[in-house]
Structure 1
Amino acid sequence: MSMVDKLSVASLAILLLAGCPPKQPAGSPVDQPVDAGVDQAAGEDGASSPVAEPPEQRVQGLLSEAEEAVQAREPARLQPILEEMQGLARQFPDVAALHYDIGVVYEALNDRLNARKAYLRATDLDPSLAKAWLNLGALAEESGDLERAWRAYEAGRSHAPDDPDLVVGQIGVLRKQGRTEEAIALARQALGQNANNIGAYNNLGLVYLDQGNVDLANFIYQKALNSIEGADSNAYLHCNLGRVYKAMDKEYLAQQEFDRALQLDPELVAAMLFLGDARLDNHDWEGAAELLERARDLEPDNPAILVNLGIAYRGLGRFEEAAALYKRALELDPGNPDPYLNLAVLQGDHMRAYDAALASVDAYLAAGGTRTELAAQWRADLEKSREKYERELERKRRRAEREKQREEEARLAAEHEARQAAIRAAAEAALGQACPAEGCPELTVCNRAGVCAEPGSPGTAGMGDACSSDDDCVAGLGCGADAVCVEQAAPGAAEETEAAPGAAEETEAA
C-alpha cells in the first residue's frame, strides 16, 4: 500500500471507529471546499488541453521516502521531500494528484492548514479526485467542524457519486451528530448500492451500538464478515466486533477480536486502547503499560491514551509519571476536565497529598466538570481521609518519640554498663598489685599490706569499720577498744603518757 493510500485510510479510520478516542483537533478552521465544475486546464472551446505529467517514477520515489520517514518518526526528513515536490508542482502546476501528494506530506508534518490548501487545489484541478475530498472531510472532523466535513463529503459525492468512502464519511458525521436514524437510512442506501461497502457496515454497526442494540450490531458485523470476500482481513471490522462483544460482557471474545485486529494492523490505536482498557480492568498494569506505550508512540498527543497510560503507571507505582501524563492530557484537551479527577485519585489515595487532591477536585469543577455530586462526595471523602491521615501521622509521631526515648535510655544504659565493665576490668587487673600513688581503682582498696584488694577482705577495714584485730584495718589504723578501726597512736605517745605520774610526785614534794 502506498503512503497516499495509507494516510487516506488513516484519515478514514476516524470515521470508521468514531467512538474510539479521536485524534487531537487542529487549530485552524477548514476553508470552504471549492465546487469547481470547470477544469482550469480546459481551452477556450471547452476541450481539455493535454496536461504535462511529472516523472511518475520520481514522484513515487519521493512518496516512498516520505512513508519511510513517517514510519521511522523522523519528520526532519520530510521537509526536503516536500520542497522537491513543491518544485515539481511549479513545473507541473495542473497535476491534481501531485497537489494531493503534497497535502499528504503536509499532514505528516502536522501542518493541517497547508494540507487543506493542497487538497483544495487538487479538487480545483480535478473535482472527481475523491480521496482529496475525503481527506478534507477528515481534517474538518478532526477540527470538530462536522458541518464543514459534511459539505466536503457531499461535494466529493457530487463529482464521484460511486465512491464508497465518501458516503461512509457522511454516515460517520450523522452518527457523531446524534442523527442516528438518518445515519441508518444512509448506510442502508449505501449498502443497497454496494453490498460490499465494508465502511458502511462498520458505521451501521456502530450506530446500532450507540443505540444500545448490541444484538443488531453483532448481526451487522457477522453478516459483513460472512458475506463479503476479504472482510475477515479488515482490522476495523474485528475491532468494532470486539466492541460489541465487550458491550455484551463477552470479554474473552472481545479480546480475541481486538487481538485479531492488531494482527491485521499492528498500528491500529483503537484496538490497543480497548485491549489496554481490558488489562487495566484486570490490574495487569505492566501489560497495559506496554500496549499503551505503543499507542502513545503512534499518537503522542491523544489524551485518551495518556490518561489510560497514567492509570497503568499509577498501578506500577510510577506516580510522578502518571501525574505528568494527566496534566499533559489536560493541556491537549482543556475542554475535558476529567483528568483532574484522575489526578485527585492519584494524589489522595496513593500519594497522600490531600491538599493537592482537593485542589484537583476544585479545578475539575472550575473547568466545567458536570459530575458535581461525585466531586462533592470525593471532596468529603478526601477531607475525612486527610483527617484520618493526620491522626495517623500524630500517632506515628508519638510512637516515634517513645521509640526514640527508649533508644536513648537503652543507649545510656549501654554506656553505663560499658563504664562499669571497664571499672570491673581495671579492678580485677589491680588485685594483688602494689597500691599506686594515686590510689587503687574503683571497687578495690589499698589494704594493710600495701596492695590493692577487694573491699571487706582482711586489712581493708577503714576508720570506724568493725574489726577484731589490728590486721583487719588498713595501714595506719588499729582495732580500738570498741572493736572498730581507729587511728593508732604514734610510738612516742605511750612513753610520754607513762612519765606523767612522776609529775604528780613532784607536785606533792613541793
Structure 2
Amino acid sequence: MHKNRRLVTLFLALVLAACSSTPEKPDQKLDTTAGGAGAAAAPTAAKPPDVSAEARAAYAEAVTAYQDQKKSGAIDYRGLVEKFERVLSIDAKMAEAHYNLGCIWEALHDDAKAEGHYKKALEIFPKLTLAAANWGALLARQGKLDEALSVYRRALSEDAKNSAVLLNMAAILQTQKQFDEALKLAAQVLVRDPTNIGAYRLMASLYLDKGDLDMAKLICLRGLALREKDPRLLNTMGLILLQNKKASEALAQFRMALQQAPDMIPTLFNVAKIALDYRDFKVAREQFKKILEYEPDNKKAEIGLGLAMRGNGDHEAARQHFLQLAEKYKDDALPRFWLCQMALRNFNDNAATQKECKGYLEVCRSTGRCPANQVEIAKKTIDEAMQNIQMDEKIKEEEKRMQAEQAALEKRLADLEKARTEAIEKEWAKAEEASGPLPPKKATGAEVPFVVIPLAVDPDKDYRIRLMGALFSDVAKVEIGTLKVKHVLLDETTMEFDITRGREPGPWDVMITWKDKNKDPLLFQGGLWVEYPPCQPREKHKARIDQERAEILDKAWKAAEEAGEPLPATKYAAADIPFVPVPLAFVSDKPVRVRLKGALFRCVARVDFGKFKVKHLIPDENTLEFDVPKGTKPGNYDIKVSYVDKNLKPLVFPNGLVIVEKGKTPPPEQKPAPAVGKEQAAPEAPKNPEKSPAPAPPSGGSEPSEPAEPAEPAAP
C-alpha cells in the first residue's frame, strides 16, 4: 500500500490543519497538537456543531496515532479508518472525522467512500472548505470537471479566500486551457500569502503550458527560494530546460526532484522520455519499471516499457509484452499498433504485418479513438506502394517549401544590402558633421559583407562596436586582426563588442567564424578603420561650430552686461574671431580661469597669451582652459593656440584677452584687432589702451603665477 503513501500523508496533513486556529497550506509543516471540532474553523467562520467530550478525546487519540505512524514511516491506513470511525460512532456530527476518513479512503482507492465522507463533512459544517478542496480534486481526477467546479464555487461562497479551493479550481481551469483565468486565481493566493508554495507550483506550470518559458522559470526560481528542494518545482524547471533543448540540465533537475520524492510519477515519466529520446533504452526500461511498481496498471508506463524493450534489442520479449497488453486492453489499439510495426520492422514478417495492422485498424474503427497519424502509418505499412506514392508527394512538398524558403532568403539578403547602404550613408554624414574619423573611401552595401559602426575609430578612445546588416544567428566567434573579442548578439542581424584604446592606426580585418564549421568564415578586410580624427573641423562641422560660437558670444556678452562685469571696449562679431574667451574681460585681482569656447580644440600643442606660454587643459574638444595669475598687468593680450602639426596654422585672437583695472573699463577708442585667419601671424605683446610699452611678464615672472582658485590645470 506504499505506492500513494506520500499523497496520503498530504491528505491527512490537510485534515489536521483544519483543527488549528489558522488554515495551513497543504504541505507546510503543521501544528497537529490541537484536536476536536471546536477548533476547526478559521477565526471568521461559524463554529461547527458541538460534539461530546468523549468524541473529542477519541479524535485526539486518532490524531496522535497518525502522528506516531507518520514519524515511523509506516502508516496503517486500515487502522486509522477504525479509529476515525470510532469517533463517528460516538458522535456522528464531527465533520473533521468525516473529512479524515475521506482522505484515507481516497488513499485506499475507494473513491465512492471518500466522496461520501467529504459530502457528509460539508453537510455538517459547510465552512470546512478543505473537504470541498479534496472532493473537487477527486471529481476532477475522475474527469467530472464541471461537478468539481460546482463544488469549488459552493466552497468559495463560504470562504472566498480559501487557498486550497482557489488553487484546485485553477488546476481544473488549466486542464480546460483557461490559463489566464487560472493565473488570476493563483495570483490571488500569492497576494494574500506570498509563501504559498502550491501557488508557485501551479503558476509555474501554467506559464509553461502557455509557452512563456521565461515567466515559468522566474516563478520556479522564486518558489525554490522559499523551498529549495521542492520536487514539483524542480520537475517544472526540468520541463522548462527540456523545452529549451537543454536535456542534460533538465535530467539533473528531474533527478533532484526524485531524490526528494522517489514516487513522483510525472518526473519518472520525464526521465524515461529523455532516455527514450536519447536511445538510452536501459535507463528508460528501469524508469518504466519503477512507475509500474507504484502503479501496476499505468497503461502509458506499460507501453513505454515495451518500447524500451524493443529499443534494447529484446524484440521477442517486446512482442510478447505487447501481445499481453493487446489482450488486457481490448479497446485500446495502441498495443496492436506496435505489434503492426514490429512485425515489419523487426521481424520482416509480411503476413504477420497484414494481420496485426488490420487488427489495429479494426479497433480504431470500432472505438474511433486512434490518432490520424498512427492510422496513416498502419495503412502505409500494409501498402508499400501507397507509401512510396505518399513519399513522392512529401518530396515535392519539401521541394516547394525549400524553394519558398530560398526566395524568402534572397529577399532578406537584398533587404540587408539596402540596410547596409543606408547605414553607411547615415554614419558617414554623422562623422562628417562631428569631424570624426572616417575611412578613406565610402563604400556601398553591395561592397561590404556587413557595416562596422562607427565607420572609423580614434586610437586613443575605447569603443563599443556594432556590426549590422548580415545574418549573425550562428556566430561562434569574432576576431579583430588576430585578437578574439567577446561579442553580444542583439538580434539576428546585429551584434556588439568592445575594443580598447591603443590600436595602431590603419585598417584592421574583421572575421566572423560560425558554429557550423562547414560554413566559410565571413571576412571584412580592413573593416575596422583606426584613424585619428582631423585636427580642424570639416565643412559641415565648421558651420555648426560657427553657429555655436555666435550663441556663446551673445550669451556671454548679455550675462556680463546684466551682472555689471567688465566688457571689451567694442562688441565684436563671432564671425571675426576664432573662439570666445570667457570671461570676455576681467580684473586680475585674483587668479582667473579663462575658458576658450566655440572652436574645435584637437591636436593642441601649446597656448600663449601675449608672449607667455601657459599650461592648458582640454575638458572636452570644444573647450580649452588656462589660468591667468593674479596681478597680471591690465591690457589686451593676444591669445594663440598652436597645433602639434606645425603645418597647421594656429588659432589666433588678437587682443582677445582683455584685462582691465579695477573700477575701469577699456576706453571706447580701443578696439580688438581682427582675428588671425589663414595668413596673419599672432602678435607677441600685450596691447595697452594708452600706449604700447614693451611686454612685461605678469606678476613679474616669465610664466603666469600659480592661481589659488581654481587649481592650476595639468598639462594635457
- TM-score range with shorter-chain normalisation? 0.5 to 0.7
Tell me whether 1:129 sits opposite 2:128 in the alignment: yes
CA 329–309 in structure 1, closer or farther in 2 if over 3 Å, else same: farther
Tell me whether 1:372 sits opposite 2:372 in the alignment: yes
Note the alpha carbon deviations across 1:267-309, whole angstroms, 9 max, x for none: 1111101001111122222211222211112122322222222
CA 203–290 in structure 1, closer or farther in 2 if over 3 Å, else same: same
Aligned length: 346
1:194 maps to: 193
Tell me whether 1:384 sits opposite 2:388 in the alignment: no
Tell me whether 1:6 sits opposite 2:10 in the alignment: yes
| Inter-partner Cα distance in structure 2 for 1:135 and 1:375 | 39
1:425 maps to: none
How far 1:223 moved relative to its partner? Answer: 2.9
Matches within 5 A, 1:144-183: 144-183=143-182
Tell me whether 1:275 sits opposite 2:259 in the alignment: no
- Check whether the contact 1:187–1:200 (CA below 8 A) recurs between aligned residues: yes
Of 257, 278, 284 in structure 1, the residue corresponding to residue 280 of structure 2 is 284
1:486 maps to: none
CA 93–10 in structure 1, closer or farther in 2 if over 3 Å, else same: closer
2:308 maps to: 312
1:451 maps to: none
How far 1:247 moved relative to its partner? Answer: 1.0
| Inter-partner Cα distance in structure 1 for 2:250 and 2:338 | 26
- Check whether the contact 2:122–2:132 (CA below 8 A) recurs between aligned residues: yes
Which has the larger strand fraction? 2
| Inter-partner Cα distance in structure 2 for 1:359 and 1:326 | 17
- Check whether the contact 1:323–1:346 (CA below 8 A) recurs between aligned residues: no
Matches within 5 A, 1:423-442: none
| Inter-partner Cα distance in structure 2 for 1:176 and 1:123 | 26
Of 256, 260, 267 in structure 1, the residue corresponding to residue 256 of structure 2 is 260
Tell me whether 1:59 sits opposite 2:51 in the alignment: no
- Check whether the contact 1:127–1:159 (CA below 8 A) recurs between aligned residues: yes
Flag the structure with larger Rg: 1
Report the more deviating stretch, 318-327 or 99-108: 318-327
Matches within 5 A, 1:23-172: 41=49, 52-56=55-59, 58-60=61-63, 63=66, 79=78, 82-172=81-171
CA 300–129 in structure 1, closer or farther in 2 if over 3 Å, else same: farther
How far 1:171 moved relative to its partner? Answer: 1.1
2:208 maps to: 209
RMSD of Structure 2 on Structure 1 (CA): 3.5
Tell me whether 1:238 sits opposite 2:241 in the alignment: no
Note the alpha carbon deviations across 1:100-127, whole angstroms, 9 max, x for none: 2222222233211111001111222333
How far 1:160 moved relative to its partner? Answer: 3.9
How far 1:323 moved relative to its partner? Answer: 0.6
How far 1:216 moved relative to its partner? Answer: 2.4
Note the alpha carbon deviations across 1:350-390, whole angstroms, 9 max, x for none: 354313331243035312245335523432234439x9xxx
Note the alpha carbon deviations across 1:104-163, whole angstroms, 9 max, x for none: 222233211111001111222333333322210111111101112122233333334443
How far 1:4 moved relative to its partner? Answer: 5.3
- Structure 1 unaligned segments of length 5 or more: list them: 12-36, 43-47, 388-510
2:289 maps to: 293
- Check whether the contact 2:49–2:94 (CA below 8 A) recurs between aligned residues: no
Q: Partner of 1:195: helix, strand, or coil? A: coil
| Inter-partner Cα distance in structure 2 for 1:134 and 1:145 | 14
CA 285–207 in structure 1, closer or farther in 2 if over 3 Å, else same: same
| Inter-partner Cα distance in structure 1 for 2:374 and 2:182 | 34
| Inter-partner Cα distance in structure 1 for 2:8 and 2:374 | 47
TM-score, scaled to structure 2: 0.44
CA 85–39 in structure 1, closer or farther in 2 if over 3 Å, else same: same
| Inter-partner Cα distance in structure 1 for 2:208 and 2:309 | 31
- Check whether the contact 1:3–1:66 (CA below 8 A) recurs between aligned residues: no
- Residue type matched to 1:362 in 2? L
| Inter-partner Cα distance in structure 2 for 1:324 and 1:10 | 43
- Residue type matched to 2:364 in 1? L
| Inter-partner Cα distance in structure 1 for 2:305 and 2:12 | 28
Note the alpha carbon deviations across 1:74-107, whole angstroms, 9 max, x for none: xxx7556534542332113122222122222222
Q: Partner of 2:228: helix, strand, or coil? A: helix
- Residue type matched to 2:205 in 1? L
CA 284–162 in structure 1, closer or farther in 2 if over 3 Å, else same: same
CA 276–236 in structure 1, closer or farther in 2 if over 3 Å, else same: same
Which has the larger helix fraction? 1
- Check whether the contact 1:51–1:94 (CA below 8 A) recurs between aligned residues: no
| Inter-partner Cα distance in structure 2 for 1:309 and 1:234 | 28
CA 68–276 in structure 1, closer or farther in 2 if over 3 Å, else same: farther
- Check whether the contact 2:285–2:308 (CA below 8 A) recurs between aligned residues: yes
| Inter-partner Cα distance in structure 1 for 2:148 and 2:377 | 41
CA 78–220 in structure 1, closer or farther in 2 if over 3 Å, else same: closer
| Inter-partner Cα distance in structure 2 for 1:267 and 1:201 | 21
CA 40–215 in structure 1, closer or farther in 2 if over 3 Å, else same: closer
CA 102–96 in structure 1, closer or farther in 2 if over 3 Å, else same: same
| Inter-partner Cα distance in structure 1 for 2:320 and 2:12 | 34
CA 165–81 in structure 1, closer or farther in 2 if over 3 Å, else same: closer
How far 1:40 moved relative to its partner? Answer: 7.0
CA 62–195 in structure 1, closer or farther in 2 if over 3 Å, else same: closer
| Inter-partner Cα distance in structure 2 for 1:65 and 1:127 | 30
- Check whether the contact 1:140–1:149 (CA below 8 A) recurs between aligned residues: yes
| Inter-partner Cα distance in structure 2 for 1:234 and 1:99 | 30
CA 328–211 in structure 1, closer or farther in 2 if over 3 Å, else same: farther
CA 88–114 in structure 1, closer or farther in 2 if over 3 Å, else same: same
- Structure 2 unaligned segments of length 5 or more: list them: 16-44, 388-716
| Inter-partner Cα distance in structure 1 for 2:381 and 2:170 | 45
Q: Partner of 1:144: helix, strand, or coil? A: coil
Q: Partner of 1:52: helix, strand, or coil? A: helix
Note the alpha carbon deviations across 1:448-471, whole angstroms, 9 max, x for none: xxxxxxxxxxxxxxxxxxxxxxxx
- Check whether the contact 1:171–1:183 (CA below 8 A) recurs between aligned residues: yes
| Inter-partner Cα distance in structure 2 for 1:10 and 1:314 | 44
- Residue type matched to 1:194 in 2? D
How far 1:196 moved relative to its partner? Answer: 2.0
Q: Partner of 1:196: helix, strand, or coil? A: coil
How far 1:57 moved relative to its partner? Answer: 5.5
CA 10–127 in structure 1, closer or farther in 2 if over 3 Å, else same: closer
Q: Partner of 1:232: helix, strand, or coil? A: coil
- Check whether the contact 1:103–1:119 (CA below 8 A) recurs between aligned residues: yes
- Residue type matched to 1:98 in 2? A
Tell me whether 1:346 sits opposite 2:342 in the alignment: yes
Q: Greater relative contact order: 1 or 2 (C-alpha under 8 angstroms, separation 6 or more)?
A: 1
Among the aligned pairs, what percent are the same residue? 22
| Inter-partner Cα distance in structure 1 for 2:337 and 2:14 | 32
CA 128–110 in structure 1, closer or farther in 2 if over 3 Å, else same: same
- Residue type matched to 1:242 in 2? G
1:495 maps to: none
How far 1:173 moved relative to its partner? Answer: 1.0
